[in-house]
Amino acid sequence: MKQRIFWFLVSIMTFLLIYAWGARYDFSLGGPLVLRQLNLLFAVLGFFFFFLQFILSSRARLVEKGFGLNKMILKHRHVGRIALGFLILHPVFFFLFQGDVVIRGTSMIIGLIVLLGLMVTAALASLHKKLNLPYELWLNIHKANYVLFPLVLVHVFDRATPGTPLYYFWGVFTAVFFLLIVLIFRKEVDIRRNPYQVVEVKQEANDIWSLFLHGRPLDYQPGQFMYLRLLRKGMISSSHPFTISSSPTWNRLAVTIKNSGDFTATVKDTKPGDKAYVDAPYGVFSFLRCECKNIMFIAGGIGITPFISMIRYMYEEKISIPVTLLWANKSEEELCFRDELAKMEKEMDNLKVVYVMSRQEDWKMEKGRINRNIIEKYKTDKGGYDYFICGPPPMSKAVMAALKDMGVPKDKIHHELFEF
Ligand SMILES: Cc1cc2nc3c(=O)[nH]c(=O)nc-3n(C[C@H](O)[C@H](O)[C@H](O)COP(=O)(O)OP(=O)(O)OC[C@H]3O[C@@H](n4cnc5c(N)ncnc54)[C@H](O)[C@@H]3O)c2cc1C
């Protein structure tokens, strides 16, 4: 679903909910009464935006296709803040203007427990880096929201008046939420029933390893990514996102992984014959999604993976769009795919590979960091470039600023982040 359509539907639904709330009251009664009823409006909007959270974080293919998962998760964060804001205002206005500060009834206590739970999960999501919490730990705590939502339903149905339009809306949201749970469960069963098998483990550089997987065919675009879990010695790992570094024309999947933490440090211990659970494909970072005349790929370190997939695909499919790859690393020891890139560059008239080293004095090609000078140096004057960037956040930021300086339109800059 296109982003615009999604947000249009959300706006319509928000309007209908406000209308359904407003239809209950006679606003001619004046100020204090309206203020009193605002608590319900905040509850209605807070509930709706909380519900949207599950759609935005569900990896639902229908929505993901239009957004890309990175953007969906970014929106999930923004919408989450709005939901929490409304849900906090709900009891504040209730207690301030209801003239009744006594907490009565199980459903009210449940409502307050849910609010507290949401505040904790939201705080952990915002502060996990500062608190140095392991990624999986805060993510699993965050998933408690799937338990908090049914509790919200208990609160909502206890307070709502049967037969009103709002009551029917709650019914629809409840049905969609449980349908989503069923779909997530079904997908999990399907993934578990159709594991891939690791057929090769290859060291590409000092701390970079490729895993080659064989299993059911996957329909993906070069540049997309998968969620991967490995089943080794009877233990299932946590799920991590990795770009699919193979070309869709291959009969096996590949991922190329740099050691950067707990899980990635263990990739080298994977053995042929181990199983892999693959949830894919995700993402919208592919040259196939735009009508590109000239392409510049700008990679930093392991950010090469979507580009190697796209270049492999172009090579095999004999796609003749002119492509320049600028690839930044500290030194040549970090390079992988070097021979393969050299071979493809030699055989493809349309590919130019430029290595940029930031910490290697004796390097003969470009030295330093990728900046406006380097980008302009390797651009031909044919114009009409699409820029694809994938690398560490500081590099991506600097390159985006340089492109903005050069007056490149926003829709010509495509960007993939390796963190959510
Ligand atoms: C779309 C996408 C594509 C990626 N492609 C590649 C690739 O081709 N090759 C590669 O080496 N790396 C890739 N990464 C990064 C890779 O997912 C992380 O390096 C890996 O998950 C780190 O896990 P860890 O346990 O080793 O490290 P940790 O120390 O647990 O985490 C280090 C950082 O990695 C990120 N991270 C960890 N776990 C997850 C998770 N489950 N979901 C999302 N982010 C997580 C977090 O930002 C965290 O701060 C990609 C990331 C994304 C989002």
Mean pLDDT of 173-177: 96
Q: Is the CB of 263 under 6 A from ligand 1?
A: yes
Which tens digit of pLDDT belongs to each residue from 269-303?
999 999 999 999 999 999 999 989 999 999 999 99
As a whole number of angstroms, the distance between CA 242 and CA 255 comes to: 6
Rounded to the nearest angstrom, the distance between the alpha carbon of 417 and the centre of ligand 1 is 10
For ligand 1, atom 6, name the residue with the nearest CA. Answer: 242
Average pLDDT, the chain: 93
Rounded to the nearest angstrom, the distance between the alpha carbon of 258 and the centre of ligand 1 is 9
Is it the case that residue 207 has pLDDT exceeding 70?
A: yes
Contact call for residues 230 and 275 (beta carbons, < 8 A): yes
Mean pLDDT of 405-420: 93
Report the candidate in 184, 210, 186 with the shortest Cα–Cα distance to residue 199: 210
Q: Is the CB of 393 under 6 A from ligand 1?
A: no
Rounded to 5 degrees, what are φ and ψ at 328? Answer: -95, 135
Q: Among 260, 284, 329, which is best to mutate for testing ligand 1, by the most ligand atoms less than 8 A from CB?
A: 260
The pLDDT-based confidence of 310 (bands split at 50, 70, 90) is: very high
Query: What pLDDT, on the 0 to 100 scale, is given for residue 28?
Result: 67
Q: Is 407 helix (H, G, I), strand (E, B) or coil?
A: coil
Q: Exposed, middle or buried by CB within 10 Å (0-12, 13-18, 19+), for 366? A: buried
Contacts (Cβ under 8 Å, ≥6 apart) of 73: 56, 57, 420
End-to-end CA distance of the chain: 21
Contact call for residues 80 and 88 (beta carbons, < 8 A): no
For ligand 1, atom 21, name the residue with the nearest CA. Answer: 240
Report the candidate in 230, 191, 239, 192 with the shortest Cα–Cα distance to residue 209: 230
Helix H or strand E encompassing 325: strand 323-329
Residue 242 alpha carbon, nearest atom of ligand 1: 5
Rounded to the nearest angstrom, the distance between the alpha carbon of 241 and the centre of ligand 1 is 6
For ligand 1, atom 3, name the residue with the nearest CA. Answer: 242
Mean pLDDT of 150-172: 91
Rounded to the nearest angstrom, the distance between the alpha carbon of 420 and the centre of ligand 1 is 9
- Single-letter residue type at 192: R
Is it the case that residue 309 has pLDDT exceeding 90?
A: yes
- Single-letter residue type at 383: G
Domain residue limits, the chain = 3-186, 194-282, 287-416
Q: Which of 26-40, 131-145, 216-230 has the highest mean pLDDT?
A: 216-230
As a whole number of angstroms, the distance between CA 229 and CA 221 comes to: 21
Is it the case that residue 199 has pLDDT exceeding 70?
A: yes
Task: Please identify, in words, the CATH class of the domain defined by 3-186.
Answer: mainly alpha
As a whole number of angstroms, the distance between CA 169 and CA 175 comes to: 10
Is it the case that residue 101 has pLDDT exceeding 90?
A: no
Give domain 287-416's CATH architecture. 3-Layer(aba) Sandwich (3.40)
The CATH number for 194-282, chosen from 2.40.30.10, 3.40.250.10, 3.10.129.10, 3.40.50.700, is 2.40.30.10
